[in-house]
Amino acid sequence: MSKYSPDEKRITLAIREPLILKRHTLSIRVGRYESYPVGTVLRASCDVARPDSTKPSFERIVFLKGIDYECRYADIARVGFSPSFRGAVAVASGRYAALFNRELHDPENSLLQAMILGKTGEFPKKLRDTFARAGTAHIISISGMHMALLVIVLELVLVSLALTPGARLGVLTLLLTSYLIMVGSPAAALRSMLMAIAFIAAKYAGRPYAGMHILLLTAAAMVLTQPWILSLDIGFQLSFLAMAGMALTYEFWERVFGWLPETFLIRGTVAMTFAAQTLTWPLSAYYFQSVSAAAPVANLFLVTLLAPTLILSFIAVPASFIPGAVPVVIWPLFFMLRAQIGLTEFVGNLPGAALSFGLSVPTMLMSYLILIAGIVLLKRFKRSTSSGSRYPLMH
Amino acid sequence: MLASTLARRCAFGFLVGVGCAGIFPMSRFFASALGVFILSALFFGLGRLRNFAVPVCVIAAFSVGGIYVQWRKDLKLQAPEIAGITAVSGEVRGVEVFPR
């Protein structure tokens, strides 16, 4: 399977016929602007082949995307439509995309679609690099922060509807699962959804819960379903390590930045950013040869804008059914998106915003060994000097 | 607390097992399993009887992880032969737009 072309996109087909290939998946490259909604039943005349194992992208596509075959030089015909839950969710996603396309210009439109719908394909590469330099690339993917904010807002709404805890958990699981399907189930979003459901289930059941316990069990469950994410999915690796860093070192960084004011969550945000970066920087240096130094400053401003941006964007489609309500939602949304892009460009273009250095595999592993040893020593020191909670995220 | 600790450490053992089996062939994997057992026993305290369950479960989870990933790999390689197939039909499950 050759490197992608900017004029193409890839559709994944769940094979129905021939019967020998039933339950296998097949990938077809089509033109970027050809429309094949999820649920469309296609018949493709083509050379069916295994993905080309001599290409570097083979392993990633075959194992991670779960694709067994590819269809080359396809002549495609639509033969019907199969209604499904997945298709209904794709229709909802299409409505949001159509509204944002109509009401917003780029780059605000592509930023919002990446943030909310996980459609990162149209996001300009130059701006993506600026977000990476500023340490705010997690904003343009569906990350744990998105899911956490979504869970908080949804829980507030469900509590206000006076639902029982069991019903709240059921509705929350259904809504989060729908959203996960809508955004294409990236590993970071799946990880944070499973963790959020586990946290809430433990809270409702009156059981104690600890960050590292849930994180490890969630990671084990995800790897059980799809083992290849462990070695091939950079999003899973970064997301898992960021959460582990927060669970293990947040208290330490909060003490280090004890001199910062707590107003507007300044201390918490800076400590959280440092905690997340504690275990991700070696991997970042290995994969991208760059580590953001400006992340704490950029996140300080951007995180405060994320919650209202998410809330407004989610109510945009329901608001479109009320005459005259769309501008009331879209204009504040536009200004917040503009502010996020402007702040990221300012911080990301500052001299020294990103430290450029690469790590080889041995130096990366050595860095992790040193970090783990440091964390173990820190925990032992803390345990010997205080009788506080053993688990940092236990409430 | 023991059950909770076991669950957490077994999950960790499973993850490390999957990771190692993804990198090493099976013979080296089992050699590394032995290494992990010894290290776990030392690290978690073989001397204390109550904690003996921990390294045993960690190594079991590690081995299960390794065997599981090998089984999945074999399963993947057993996809049916496709010679002579020139047409397929099926349902669109996903659309991926490549970044420009």
Q: Which pLDDT score, from 0 to 100, does residue A334 have?
A: 92
**pTM, rounded to two decimals:** 0.80
Residue A325 zone, left/alpha/beta (φ > 0; ψ -120 to 50; rest): alpha
Residues 6 or more apart whose CB falls under 8 angstroms from that of B78 comprise: none
Q: Token pair 């479960």 is at which residue?
A: B57
What is the ipTM metric for this complex? 0.74
Residue B91: strand pairing partners: A14, A41
Contact between chains at B79 and A17 (C-beta distance less than 8 A): no
Q: Kindly report, residue by residue over B27-83, the tens digit of the pLDDT.
A: 666 666 667 666 666 666 555 555 666 677 777 888 788 888 888 877 776 767 777
Q: Does B28 reach chain A within 8 Å, measured CB to CB?
A: no
A84: chain B residues, CB-CB within 8 Å: 91
Instruction: Give the residue with greater pLDDT, A242 vs A389.
Output: A242
Q: Kindly report, residue by residue over A289-335, the tens digit of the pLDDT.
A: 888 888 888 887 887 888 888 888 888 888 888 888 888 888 999 99
Q: Kindly report, residue by residue over A342-381, the tens digit of the pLDDT.
A: 888 888 888 887 888 888 888 888 888 898 888 888 888 8
Check if the beta carbon of residue A333 is closer than 8 Å to that of residue A313: yes
Q: Kindly report, residue by residue over A218-276, the tens digit of the pLDDT.
A: 888 888 888 888 877 888 888 888 888 888 888 888 888 888 888 777 888 888 888 88
Q: Which pLDDT score, from 0 to 100, does residue A390 have?
A: 47
Residue type, A249: T
B92: chain A residues, CB-CB within 8 Å: 11-13, 36-42
| Average pLDDT score, chain B | 73
Contact between chains at A69 and B72 (C-beta distance less than 8 A): no
At B25, give phi and psi (nearest 5°).
Answer: -70, 165
> Cβ–Cβ contacts within 10 Å for residue A26, how many?
25
CB pairs under 8 A between A and B: 152
Q: Locate the chain A residue with the closest alpha carbon to B100.
A: A6
Q: Which pLDDT score, from 0 to 100, does residue A61 have?
A: 67
Kindly state the tokens that stand for A134: 């500023």
Residues 6 or more apart whose CB falls under 8 angstroms from that of A205 comprise: none
B91: chain A residues, CB-CB within 8 Å: 13-14, 16, 39-42, 82, 84
B95: chain A residues, CB-CB within 8 Å: 9-12, 36, 38
How far apart CA B2 and CA B5 sit, in angstroms, is: 5
**Percentage with pLDDT > 90 across chain A:** 1
**Percentage with pLDDT > 70 across chain A:** 93
Cis peptide leading into residue A18 (ω within 30°): yes
Which stretches within B1-100 are classed as H helix?
Answer: 2-23, 26-44, 53-77
